[in-house]
């Protein structure tokens, strides 16, 4: 018999967007029964970013390993069904806009009456208990409001740059998983559940804590440094041969510097006082980086990476998705998993990225269709009869998947 | 003084042999109340040399990176390259629940302290190794760094401006995402051990974890073939500023994220419903992305009329998310940051008093706070070696002279 670490743990997931859906995805991989509460009336907005509500790549990645319980929370009967579900749960996670879940009657105080030892994580963008606690905010806005974005640029950029991906969403989801696992272990030892309020803006800020210390202690308001480092030189992402091709190079030690110079066939740099140590190289960094790009632009990024790694200098290609699929180390490590989905088809997703000697994880299950597991949950967990289920369907309290013609 | 409330992980002891790759992992665990003992080589952890420093002058007790990431931990010195050092380490392993280490693959084995050896001493030990490329595989002996992992994860090609060179996320995000994976897998192992009694060895590769930690959507977006052939918006384009545009305003800059037509309408309303913004096609998200430059040039004329806070509040009122782009000071001074008491005062014997960020949570039952400053080099040697392992002060002097501690 396989024994997954979170066997028997049930998670009720009021998730939308990224943070709590991604959190549920990971707990599902550990063997928890993660149930997403959703309805066509109140769609997770990530379902709407794509060709169809069951075929959005972002939604489908963040919602693997879950069951979908489609239910209309605006009805008393719908609420009652979810209350009955919560009575069987160990964990509740929510990241609706501040106050929404509470107004639906599923705030911590109410939920605790249903299940006294529940572990409840609530995560808003700004976090509860301040003037912006009910402000809607997506990840990239929290990067902006946390100070992180003010540092995310090259020194001469007029505006911060940021990225196509929604930082800090995927960081915050991991912080939430960690917190809930710690709470679960605490409950195992003491029998006590609890409420955790996680602020996503603080999750972003907590990764650059030293910048806040610099302000508190030195009164410095740090400015963007781009790809440069105050203690390594060169340290950057350099243009290579080809269209939009780049390779990172970082040199931390004098040993790496000597290897680097020899690999570039520039032994004269080793003796050049301008480049004698990190401090000198930082002083002449513009000149040095110009020389480096003269070399990197003559080579494909793969050649730059291989040449430098062969002599022990940290270097790595700015990989695209297709490169990460071909990456021999990631391939070796089974970092990519293919999951078949009735609407989206066979698609690729990142696998759980670490290895454990004595623990097994679930194989990833496809993200659910909207309401895909409503009936099975009614039957298996809520012990409803066929007649009762039929009536709920008639009253449109339950959501079951409505596939368009041609979808199976 | 009131008794310190216990944390969710109080009662566990963690030995911390982590460098920059894993220091955030043991920070997370320490902030939850576990007893984390940072074990440094007698000449100090290399992260003590990371600038900037308190007072701007290099000093081994004043690295801000070290101070921030090692609060709530105890610190001892131990030289694992000496035989006495290894003997002492094995004694510590007897009483430990968790070991976190970040040495190159094979190093712990070369000094006789690999998991196979340590689990004989303590079968319930949970050991996590964080390395740049993992314990095995074709790249295992490659050299890494945060920027290298960030690049290889797929995050870099998506960061920065389309025409310029890619620009990384500040801090050490690739290392920290691996550190989070380690903290998750360690806590999961502790929970699992509670029912099975089993220890665990965990292999965490920064290379692999940066991808899931930062941009797990890259691969599925490619695999779903979001934009066959052409933009907008490809998962790998550097489209941050097109997707989540930044506009100047009266006293700074704001970021506006209008995804749905309703949010767009709200933005137009806030900006006074100028005719030029009322064209029906602007309501379509992908149309706006495809014409990002044109729409930007129009909107910029209107945002300049307002302050950051006016736009933030109007956005909330009308239903379109708008936030100020705070610099470091702006975030510290924000009324929300203050209301949540995100910063707390710490008093460090060398660096002095300062405000440090707390963990990003509030818990009802257990403590999750910054209580103690980062340890000075060897600060807890006596507590651990004398009070716990029974060495005398004379023994300590001898060990110090011999370069063991």
Q: Which domains, ranges and CATH numbers included, belong to chain A?
A: 10-206+333-399 (3.40.50.10540), 235-322 (3.30.1540.10)
Q: Does B231 fall in a domain?
A: no
B205 and B269 inside one domain:
no
The Cα–Cα gap between B203 and A171 comes to: 20
| DSSP helix/strand/coil, A15 | coil
**Angle between helices A301-310 and A254-263 in degrees, nearest 10:** 130
A157 with B259: Cβ contact below 8 A:
no
B253 and B149 inside one domain:
no
Of A173, A191, A68, nearest in space to A118 by CA: A191
Reported as a single tens digit per residue, the pLDDT across A295-307 is 999 999 999 999 9
B253 and B130 inside one domain:
no
Q: What is the CATH number of the domain that holds B120?
A: 3.40.50.10540
So what's the pLDDT on residue B24? 98
Which of left, alpha, beta for A255 (phi over 0: left; psi -120 to 50: alpha)?
alpha
Q: What is the CATH number of the domain that holds B274?
A: 3.30.1540.10
Phi, psi for residue B212 in degrees, rounded to 5: -70, -30
B183 with A178: Cβ contact below 8 A:
yes
> Closest Cα of chain B to A364: distance in Å?
14
B166 and B248 inside one domain:
no
The Cα–Cα gap between A22 and A28 comes to: 10
Q: Give B11's pLDDT tier (boundaries 50, 70, 90).
A: very high
Q: Which of A81-90, B94-103, B266-275 has the lowest mean pLDDT?
A: B266-275
Tokens read off for A225: 């440094």
So what's the pLDDT on residue B293? 85
Is B26 within 8 Å of chain A by CB? no
A130 with B157: Cβ contact below 8 A:
no
Q: Does B219 fall in a domain?
A: no
Q: Does B232 fall in a domain?
A: no
% of chain B beyond a pLDDT of 70: 97
The Cα–Cα gap between B121 and B113 comes to: 10
The Cα–Cα gap between B304 and B307 comes to: 8
Higher pLDDT, B364 or B294: B364
B258 and B117 inside one domain:
no
Please name the residues between 129 and 148 in chain B that touch chain A, using a CB distance below 8 Å: 132-140, 142-145, 147-148
B393 and B318 inside one domain:
no
The Cα–Cα gap between A81 and B346 comes to: 48
Q: Could you write out the DSSP letters of every residue in B275-340?
A: GGG--GGGGSHHHHHHTHHHHHHHHHHHHTTS-HHHHHHHHHHHT--EEE---HHHHHH-HHHHHT
Q: Which residues contact A272 (CB under 8 A, 6 or more apart)?
A: none
Please name the residues between 41 and 70 in chain B that touch chain A, using a CB distance below 8 Å: 49-52, 54-56, 64-65, 67-69
Reported as a single tens digit per residue, the pLDDT across A174-205 is 999 999 999 999 999 999 999 999 999 999 99
Q: Give A208's pLDDT tier (boundaries 50, 70, 90).
A: very high
* The domain boundary residue, chosen from B333, B352, B382: B333
Determine the residue of chain A that is closest to B138 in CA distance: A329
Q: Does B199 fall in a domain?
A: yes
A170 with B336: Cβ contact below 8 A:
no
What's the domain range around B206? 13-214+373-401
A-B Cβ pairs (cutoff 8 Å, strict): 512
Q: Is the pLDDT of residue B229 over 70?
A: no
Q: Is the pLDDT of residue A402 over 80?
A: no
So what's the pLDDT on residue A408? 40
B174 and B318 inside one domain:
no
Is B223 within 8 Å of chain A by CB? yes
Of B302, B298, B123, B278, nearest in space to B200 by CA: B123
* The domain boundary residue, chosen from B333, B358, B382: B333
* The domain boundary residue, chosen from B283, B303, B333: B333
B265 and B199 inside one domain:
no
B149 and B84 inside one domain:
yes
Q: What's chain B's average pLDDT? A: 94
Phi, psi for residue A131 in degrees, rounded to 5: -65, -20
Is B252 within 8 Å of chain A by CB? no
Please name the residues between 70 and 109 in chain B that touch chain A, using a CB distance below 8 Å: none
Say which of B200, B216, B334 has its CB closest to residue A359.
B200
Say which of B143, B215, B253 has its CB closest to residue A314.
B143
Q: Could you write out the DSSP letters of every residue in B136-165?
A: SSTTTT----HHHHHHHTTSGGGBS-SSS-
B85 and B138 inside one domain:
yes
| DSSP helix/strand/coil, A154 | coil
Q: Does B230 fall in a domain?
A: no
CA B271 from centroid of its chain's CA atoms: 38
Cβ neighbours of B261 (radius 10 Å): 13
Q: Is the pLDDT of residue B1 over 70?
A: no
CA B1 from centroid of its chain's CA atoms: 32
Report the pLDDT averaged over residues B246-265.
92
> Is A373:A69 a contact under the CB 8 Å cutoff?
yes
Report the pLDDT averaged over residues B275-294.
86
Reported as a single tens digit per residue, the pLDDT across B122-159 is 999 999 999 999 999 999 999 999 999 999 999 999 99
Q: Is the pLDDT of residue A207 over 70?
A: yes
So what's the pLDDT on residue A10? 98
Which of left, alpha, beta for A219 (phi over 0: left; psi -120 to 50: alpha)?
left
% of chain B beyond a pLDDT of 90: 84
B171 with A239: Cβ contact below 8 A:
no
**Residue in this structure with the two tokens 């196979």, named with its chain if needed:** B116
Determine the residue of chain B that is closest to A146 in CA distance: B331
Residues of chain A with Cβ-Cβ distance to B161 below 8 Å are 157, 161
Domain count of chain B?
A: 2
Nearest-10 Cα torsion for B205, B207, B208, B211: 140
Q: Does B224 fall in a domain?
A: no
The C-alpha angle with vertex B123 and arms to B122 and B125, in degrees rounded to 5, equals 70
Reported as a single tens digit per residue, the pLDDT across A298-342 is 999 999 999 999 999 999 999 999 999 999 999 999 999 999 999
> Is A219:A151 a contact under the CB 8 Å cutoff?
no
Q: Does B223 fall in a domain?
A: no
Mutation site, B223, B226, B247, interface A, largest A CB count within 10 A: B223
CA atoms within 13 A on the CB side of B361: 31
Residues of chain B with Cβ-Cβ distance to A239 below 8 Å are 165
B323 with A348: Cβ contact below 8 A:
no
Tokens read off for A70: 């489609």
**Residue in this structure with the two tokens 């409420």, named with its chain if needed:** A195
B136 with A138: Cβ contact below 8 A:
no
Report the pLDDT averaged over residues B330-357.
97
So what's the pLDDT on residue B4? 58
Q: Could you write out the DSSP letters of every residue in B10-66?
A: TT-EEEEE--TTTHHHHHHHHHTT-EEEEEE-TT--GGGGPSPBGGGS--TT-BHHH
Is B296 within 8 Å of chain A by CB? no
Reported as a single tens digit per residue, the pLDDT across A105-132 is 999 999 999 999 999 999 999 999 999 9
Determine the residue of chain B that is closest to A256 in CA distance: B143
Say which of A129, A148, A246 has its CB closest to residue B339.
A129
> Is A339:A365 a contact under the CB 8 Å cutoff?
yes
Higher pLDDT, A35 or B290: A35
Determine the residue of chain B that is closest to A161 in CA distance: B160
Is B213 within 8 Å of chain A by CB? yes
> Is A129:B362 a contact under the CB 8 Å cutoff?
yes
Reported as a single tens digit per residue, the pLDDT across A138-185 is 899 999 999 999 999 999 998 998 998 999 999 999 999 999 999 999
> Is B210:B177 a contact under the CB 8 Å cutoff?
yes
| Beta bridge partner(s), residue A198 | A123, B361
Tokens read off for B307: 């302050």
Alpha helices in A311-373 (DSSP H): 321-326, 328-332
| DSSP helix/strand/coil, B218 | helix
Q: Is the pLDDT of residue A1 over 80?
A: no
Is B117 within 8 Å of chain A by CB? no
On whether ipTM exceeds 0.85, the answer is yes
CA dist A406 to A343, A402, B398, Å? 9, 12, 80
> Is B339:A159 a contact under the CB 8 Å cutoff?
no
Gyration radius of chain B's alpha carbons: 25
Gyration radius of chain A's alpha carbons: 25
| DSSP helix/strand/coil, A163 | strand
Q: Does B228 fall in a domain?
A: no
B41 and B153 inside one domain:
yes
Report the pLDDT averaged over residues B232-247.
77
Of A35, A63, A37, nearest in space to A49 by CA: A63
B198 and B258 inside one domain:
no
Report the pLDDT averaged over residues A228-235.
97
């Amino acid at each position: 018999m396989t024994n997954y670490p979170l066997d028997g743990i049930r998670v009720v997931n009021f998730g939308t967007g990224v943070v709590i859906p991604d959190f549920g995805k990971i707990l599902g991989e550990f063997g928890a029964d993660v149930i997403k509460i959703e309805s066509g009336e109140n769609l997770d907005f990530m379902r709407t970013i794509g060709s169809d509500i069951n075929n959005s790549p972002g939604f489908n990645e963040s919602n693997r390993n879950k069951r979908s319980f489609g239910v209309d929370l605006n009805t008393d009967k719908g609420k009652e069904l979810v209350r009955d579900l919560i009575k069987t749960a160990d964990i509740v996670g929510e990241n609706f806009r501040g106050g929404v879940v509470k107004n639906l009657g599923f705030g911590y105080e109410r939920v605790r009456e249903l299940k006294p030892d529940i572990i409840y994580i609530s995560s808003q963008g700004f976090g509860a208990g301040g003037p912006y606690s009910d402000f809607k905010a997506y990840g990239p806005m929290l990067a902006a409001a946390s100070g992180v974005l003010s540092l995310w640029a090259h020194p001469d950029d007029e505006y911060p740059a940021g990225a196509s991906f929604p930082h800090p969403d995927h960081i915050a989801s991991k912080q939430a998983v960690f917190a809930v696992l710690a709470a679960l272990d605490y409950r195992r030892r003491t029998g006590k559940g609890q409420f955790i309020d996680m602020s996503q803006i603080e999750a972003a800020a907590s990764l650059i804590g030293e910048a806040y210390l610099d302000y508190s202690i030195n009164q410095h308001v740090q400015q963007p440094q781009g790809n440069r480092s105050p203690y390594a030189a060169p340290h950057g992402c350099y243009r290579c041969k080809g269209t939009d091709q780049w390779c990172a190079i970082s040199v931390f030690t004098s040993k790496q510097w000597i290897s680097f110079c020899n690999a570039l066939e520039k032994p004269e740099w080793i003796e050049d006082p301008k480049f004698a140590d990190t401090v000198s190289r930082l002083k002449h960094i513009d000149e040095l980086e110009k020389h480096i790009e003269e070399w990197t632009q003559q080579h494909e990024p793969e050649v730059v990476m291989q040449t430098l790694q062969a002599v022990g200098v940290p270097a790595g290609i700015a990989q695209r998705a297709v490169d990460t699929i071909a990456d021999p180390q990631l391939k070796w490590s089974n970092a990519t998993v293919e999951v078949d989905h009735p609407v989206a088809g066979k698609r690729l997703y990142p696998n759980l990225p670490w290895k454990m000697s004595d623990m097994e994880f679930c194989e990833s299950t496809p993200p659910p269709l909207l309401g895909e597991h409503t009936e099975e949950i009614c039957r298996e967990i809520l012990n409803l009869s066929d007649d009762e289920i039929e009536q709920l369907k008639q009253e449109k309290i339950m959501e079951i998947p409505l596939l368009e013609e041609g979808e199976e | 003084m009131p008794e310190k409330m216990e944390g969710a992980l109080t009662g566990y002891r963690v030995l911390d042999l982590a460098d920059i790759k894993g220091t955030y992992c043991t920070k997370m665990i320490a902030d939850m109340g576990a007893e984390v003992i940072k074990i440094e080589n007698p000449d100090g952890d290399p992260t003590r040399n990371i600038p900037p420093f308190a007072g701007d002058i290099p000093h081994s007790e004043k690295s801000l990176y070290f101070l921030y990431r090692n609060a709530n931990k105890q610190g001892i010195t131990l030289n694992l390259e000496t035989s006495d050092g290894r003997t002492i380490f094995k004694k510590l392993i007897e009483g430990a629940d968790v070991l976190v280490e970040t040495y190159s693959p094979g190093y712990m084995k070369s000094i006789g302290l690999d998991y196979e050896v340590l689990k004989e001493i303590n079968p319930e030990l949970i050991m996590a190794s964080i390395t740049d490329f993992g314990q095995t595989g074709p790249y295992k002996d490659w050299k890494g760094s945060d920027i290298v992992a960030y690049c290889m994860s797929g995050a870099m090609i998506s960061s920065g401006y389309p025409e310029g060179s890619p620009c990384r996320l500040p801090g050490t995000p690739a290392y920290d995402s691996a550190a989070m994976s380690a903290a998750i897998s360690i806590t999961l192992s502790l929970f699992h051990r509670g029912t099975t009694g089993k220890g665990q060895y965990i292999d965490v590769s920064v290379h692999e974890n940066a991808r899931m930690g930062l941009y797990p959507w890259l691969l599925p977006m490619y695999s779903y073939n979001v934009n066959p052939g052409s933009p907008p918006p490809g998962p790998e384009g550097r489209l941050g500023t097109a997707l989540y545009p930044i506009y100047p305003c009266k006293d700074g800059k704001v970021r506006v994220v209008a995804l749905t037509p309703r949010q767009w309408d709200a933005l137009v309303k806030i900006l006074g419903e100028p005719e030029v913004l009322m064209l029906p096609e602007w309501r379509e998200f992908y149309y706006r992305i495809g014409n990002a430059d044109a729409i930007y040039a129009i909107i910029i004329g209107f945002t300049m009329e307002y302050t950051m806070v006016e736009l933030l509040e109007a956005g909330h009122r009308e239903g379109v998310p708008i936030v100020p782009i705070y610099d470091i000071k702006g975030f510290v001074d924000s009324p929300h940051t203050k209301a949540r008491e995100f910063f707390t005062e710490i008093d460090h014997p060398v660096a002095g008093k300062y405000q440090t960020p707390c963990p990003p949570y509030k818990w009802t039952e257990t403590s999750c706070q910054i209580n103690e400053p980062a340890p000075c080099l060897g600060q807890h040697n006596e507590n651990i070696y004398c009070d716990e392992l029974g060495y005398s002060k004379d023994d300590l002097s001898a060990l110090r002279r011999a370069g063991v501690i």
